[in-house]
Amino acid sequence: MLLYFVFVLGIGFALKRFMKTSKDFFQAGRSLPAWICGLAFISANLGAQEVIGMGASGAKYGIATSHFYWIGAIPAMIFVGVFMMPFYYGSKARSVPEFLRLRFDEKTRAYNACSFAVMTVFSSGISMYAMARLIQTLHIFDAAFIKMNLPLEWEFHFAIFLSAIIVLGYIFLGGLTSAIYNEVLQFFLIVAGFAPLVWVGLKNIGGWNGLKAALPSAYMHSWQGMTNPQHNPLGVEWFGLAMGLGFVLSFGYWCTDFLVIQTAMATDTEEAARRVPLIAAIPKMFFPFLVILPGLIAIATPAMVQHAALQTPAAVTGAAPSTTDAKAASMYKGLIPVKVNPTTGQVMTDEKGNPVFDYDLAIPNMLLYYFPTGILGLGLTALLASFMSGMAGNVTAFNTVWTYDLYQSYIHKNASDAHYLKVGRWTTVGGILFSIGAAYLATSFNNIMDTLQLVFSFVNAPLFATFLLGMFWKRTTGHGAFVGLVTGTVAAVVHHGLTLPLDGHPGIHGGWIGIVHYYPSQMAQNFWTAIWAFSTNFIITVVISLMTKPRPEGELVGLVYSLTPKPVEHHMEWYERPKVIAVGLIAMLVALNLIFR
Amino acid sequence: MSLDLRIPMGLLFTIVGALMTVYGLVTFGSNIYQRSAGMNINLIWGLVMLVFGIIMYTLGRRADKRPKPAPVEGTTRPLGHGHGH
């Protein structure tokens, strides 16, 4: 693990001498090869929430979780590669908000830049918090702390500052290049750490057939029962799934979030930039096997004899594990322990008195259960790497947006390039400090993070409609886009306030205005919130655009599909053409869905 | 490109792979492998990582050498770009 940290910082130092202009720092000099950016493209998204969360959902919902990949990512990645990347790259915009200014106007950009900057800081804070929590829960540094006579509670602070300093170090030194390099490194580490886990796990429970035998059939099929929300684990019907997740949410994320777009924009040519998301889609398609399968295996592993290394909930809270083996086994579902109220030490139960399981521990417990000393270090490093990867992407995106879209545009115009480079460096420090603040905020107010994520989902949900109209309909105006964005967000808020998932109480889960509709699950509610936000934005933008004066067509060349010369592809080999790759990807996607239907 | 990522990455995987292989050999037949379904996963995966690391490193080194400008035709000086423009 130490070795990994040394390498991470070493890359930062090695790259420092190449960081001469702000372009080098913020855009990696636009000179990276496509495969590196492609891997960074998914790695930026492969943060804590991803690895832990997908393993958790795998344990909770089964193979249907792979919809988040196959429907919720791949089509959008293909779309951004084939259709949208030429505008991002070709417009010479340096960030997504800057593209909005080129296409629309200042206020749309300011709105997007501000919400984005706040969001990145909080997401990296959440990553940091989750990582520190996990380190504490798994007692990774316990031995070292006891040796040095330090109180164990300090582990949390230690983890936060350690991760902060490492991420700060390599971004401060090497900018986006360093972040991207490290993201790729983390990608390989995660694969190297999790692939043997799946292998050993599968072997232990008797291979694929053993897994099938151990789990109810709904766990093993991704499409079964999708016609009726009552009959499938996700509690969503196919329309909500396809439109909400597959269209609005995933396109909104993969096509507009600068966090991922920035990696594609770091390539050397437009062709390479277009290939980035397409390259990224290939490993992405197979990621379910790496992160969801461990969750399934965790459930299928026979509720075991107490394992010395495993974290029982009692040990988590520090209370003495006084339970007998038999009782301990009942506290597990496979390898998943029950959730324990951190203050009282009581097992948390739902209304019916069934214990609530802490699915988030699925992957960490898998690592501890199946890995002997040695490779366990690798597995844990991979896990930590995934946290840092998510943090780093957020910090660099924050850097760029703050420096170019807020600082350069509104605070200090026309300064020298060296000045902006300096600002960028120090923004890294500021961004990390804010993240630490956010991480501690999460410690003291548990709900604040849920609330904030909810607010972000409101802001993000309608975004894609704006980009879609902006890029493919030349009549769209700046006023239309701005009003559409704001009303889309309002629509999301109102929809959330008026509906409630069946098992929720009015409050953070919705229904705080009044309840007019119940959804079968929270996921269904999220998807439909997104659908409403998108549709409202779409309609309002069209209406307002028709009422306001359009910009002259000459100004929109390179920004709107119909006015931009199509990118030429005939000089490429057939297998290099984005459209050919896209068709191949779709074929693979359909095949996967058929196999696991 | 300034620094080929494959070089540091290859190094990292080579070193980690080597460490794990050695550890796997030392603990050969030890009962810590009961939990990993009886496989000496340190040895096996250490070798996999070792091979991957070496391949990456070699590829990176080779790519690093390739783009060097070919010596200009007719010059016998060892350095092709002696005088500046």
Q: Tell whether the model's pLDDT for residue A362 goes beyond 80.
A: no
What's the pLDDT at A490? 86
Q: What is the mean pLDDT of chain A?
A: 72
Residue in chain A closest to B40 (alpha carbons) equals: A372
Q: What are phi and psi of A510, to 5 degrees?
A: 120, 180
Please indicate whether, in this complex, the C-beta atoms of B5 and A185 are within 8 angstroms of each other: yes
The Cα of B13 is separated from the nearest Cα of chain A by a number of Å equal to 9
Q: Which carries the bigger pLDDT value, residue B56 or residue A512?
A: B56
- pLDDT per residue as tens digits for the range A106-156: 888 888 888 888 888 888 887 788 777 777 777 666 666 666 666 666 777
What's the pLDDT at A504? 66
Q: Which three-class secondary structure state does DSSP give residue A257?
A: coil
Q: Please report, for residues A21, A421, A520, the alpha-carbon distance to residue A400 in angstroms, rounded to integers and kept in the order given.
A: 13, 10, 41
- The verdict on residue A588 lying in a domain is no
- pLDDT per residue as tens digits for the range B56-65: 888 877 776 6
The ipTM estimated for the assembled molecules is 0.72
User: Residue A340 gets which letter from DSSP?
Assistant: B
What's the pLDDT at A449? 60
DSSP string, A162-174: HHHHHHHHHHHHH
Q: Which three-class secondary structure state does DSSP give residue A500?
A: strand
Q: What are phi and psi of A146, to 5 degrees?
A: -70, -40
d(CA A475, CA A549): 9
Domain ranges of chain B: 17-65
Is A216 buried (19+), middle (13-18) or exposed (0-12) by CB count in 10 A? Answer: exposed
- Enumerate the β-bridge partners of residue A337: A332
What's the pLDDT at A508? 66
Q: Tell whether the model's pLDDT for residue A348 goes beyond 60.
A: no
Q: Which carries the bigger pLDDT value, residue B78 or residue A479?
A: A479
pLDDT, average across residues A377-394: 77
Q: Which three-class secondary structure state does DSSP give residue A176?
A: helix
Please indicate whether, in this complex, the C-beta atoms of A10 and B45 are within 8 angstroms of each other: no
The Cα of A538 is separated from the nearest Cα of chain B by a number of Å equal to 42
How many C-beta atoms surround the C-beta of residue B63 within 10 A? 14
pLDDT interval class at A97 (50, 70, 90): confident
Q: Which of A115, A121, A127 is nearest to A457 (CA)?
A: A115
How many C-beta atoms surround the C-beta of residue A286 within 10 A? 12
Q: Which three-class secondary structure state does DSSP give residue A354?
A: coil
Q: Which carries the bigger pLDDT value, residue A301 or residue A297?
A: A297
Tokens of A40: 């960074």
Q: Tell whether the model's pLDDT for residue A531 goes beyond 80.
A: yes
Please indicate whether, in this complex, the C-beta atoms of A188 and B32 are within 8 angstroms of each other: no
Interface A:B, Cβ pairs < 8 A? 80
DSSP string, A538-584: HHHHHHHHHHSPPPPGGGGTTTSGGGSPPPP-TTS-GGG-HHHHHHH
pLDDT, average across residues A245-263: 75
What's the pLDDT at A8? 56
pLDDT, average across residues A559-584: 71
Please indicate whether, in this complex, the C-beta atoms of A32 and B8 are within 8 angstroms of each other: no
Residue in chain A closest to B31 (alpha carbons) equals: A372
Which of A6-15, A152-161, A555-564 comes out lowest in average pLDDT?
Answer: A6-15
Q: Which carries the bigger pLDDT value, residue A327 or residue A420?
A: A420
Q: Tell whether the model's pLDDT for residue A330 goes beyond 50.
A: no
Residue with tokens 């009549």: A475
Q: Tell whether the model's pLDDT for residue B77 goes beyond 70.
A: no
- Enumerate the β-bridge partners of residue A340: A347
For the CA atoms of A445, A360, A72, A451, the dihedral, rounded to the nearest 10 degrees, stands at: -10
What's the pLDDT at A227? 56
Contact (Cβ atoms closer than 8 angstroms) between residue A358 and residue A313: yes
d(CA A229, CA A68): 17
Tokens of A24: 């080098």
Contact (Cβ atoms closer than 8 angstroms) between residue A355 and residue A332: no
Q: Tell whether the model's pLDDT for residue A315 goes beyond 50.
A: no
Residue in chain A closest to B5 (alpha carbons) equals: A181
Please indicate whether, in this complex, the C-beta atoms of A15 and B1 are within 8 angstroms of each other: no
Q: Tell whether the model's pLDDT for residue A192 goes beyond 60.
A: yes
- The verdict on residue A469 lying in a domain is yes
What's the pLDDT at B81? 39
Please indicate whether, in this complex, the C-beta atoms of B42 and A375 are within 8 angstroms of each other: yes
Tokens of A242: 């396809």
pLDDT interval class at A306 (50, 70, 90): very low
Q: Which three-class secondary structure state does DSSP give residue A21?
A: coil
The Cα of B15 is separated from the nearest Cα of chain A by a number of Å equal to 9
Residue in chain B closest to A371 (alpha carbons) equals: B36
Tokens of A103: 């296409």
What's the pLDDT at A312? 43
Contacts of A288 (CB under 8 A, 6+ apart): A54, A58, A63, A65, A66, A69, A70
Please indicate whether, in this complex, the C-beta atoms of A374 and B8 are within 8 angstroms of each other: no
- pLDDT per residue as tens digits for the range A436-477: 888 887 776 656 666 666 777 777 778 888 888 888 888 888
Residue ranges in A205-216 assigned as alpha helix (H): 207-214
d(CA B66, CA B62): 6
What's the pLDDT at A329? 41
Tell me which residue range forms the domain holding A552. Answer: 458-565
Q: What is the pTM (predicted TM-score) of this model?
A: 0.77
Please indicate whether, in this complex, the C-beta atoms of B36 and A378 are within 8 angstroms of each other: no
Q: Tell whether the model's pLDDT for residue A241 goes beyond 60.
A: yes
pLDDT interval class at A325 (50, 70, 90): very low
- The verdict on residue A552 lying in a domain is yes
Q: Which three-class secondary structure state does DSSP give residue A368?
A: helix
Please indicate whether, in this complex, the C-beta atoms of A3 and B12 are within 8 angstroms of each other: yes
- pLDDT per residue as tens digits for the range B10-55: 777 887 788 878 877 877 776 667 666 667 777 888 888 888 888 8
User: Residue A322 gets which letter from DSSP?
Assistant: -
What's the pLDDT at A573? 67
Number of domains in chain A: 1
B32 vs A192, A196, A373: nearest CB: A373
What's the pLDDT at A47? 66
- pLDDT per residue as tens digits for the range A389-429: 778 778 888 888 887 777 777 777 777 777 777 777 788 88
Residue in chain B closest to A198 (alpha carbons) equals: B36
- Please report residues of A whose CB lies closer than 8 A to that of B1: 31-33
Q: Which carries the bigger pLDDT value, residue B2 or residue A380?
A: A380
Please indicate whether, in this complex, the C-beta atoms of B35 and A32 are within 8 angstroms of each other: no
Question: HSE-up of A342 (CA within 13 Å, CB side)?
Answer: 7
pLDDT interval class at A316 (50, 70, 90): very low
Please indicate whether, in this complex, the C-beta atoms of B36 and A370 are within 8 angstroms of each other: yes
Tokens of A80: 């951004």
Q: Tell whether the model's pLDDT for residue B79 goes beyond 50.
A: no
Q: Tell whether the model's pLDDT for residue A93 goes beyond 70.
A: yes
Please indicate whether, in this complex, the C-beta atoms of B20 and A196 are within 8 angstroms of each other: no
Q: Please report, for residues A109, A182, A386, A407, A572, the alpha-carbon distance to residue A393 in angstroms, rounded to integers and kept in the order given.
A: 21, 10, 11, 20, 31
- The verdict on residue A480 lying in a domain is yes
Please indicate whether, in this complex, the C-beta atoms of A372 and B37 are within 8 angstroms of each other: no
Chain A residues at the B interface, defined by Cβ less than 8 Å, are 3-4, 7, 10-11, 14-15, 18, 31-33, 36, 177, 181, 184-185, 188, 192, 196, 200, 203-204, 369-375, 378
Residue in chain B closest to A372 (alpha carbons) equals: B32
Tokens of A337: 């322990």
Tokens of A227: 């016609």
What's the pLDDT at A293? 81
- Please report residues of B whose CB lies closer than 8 A to that of A194: none
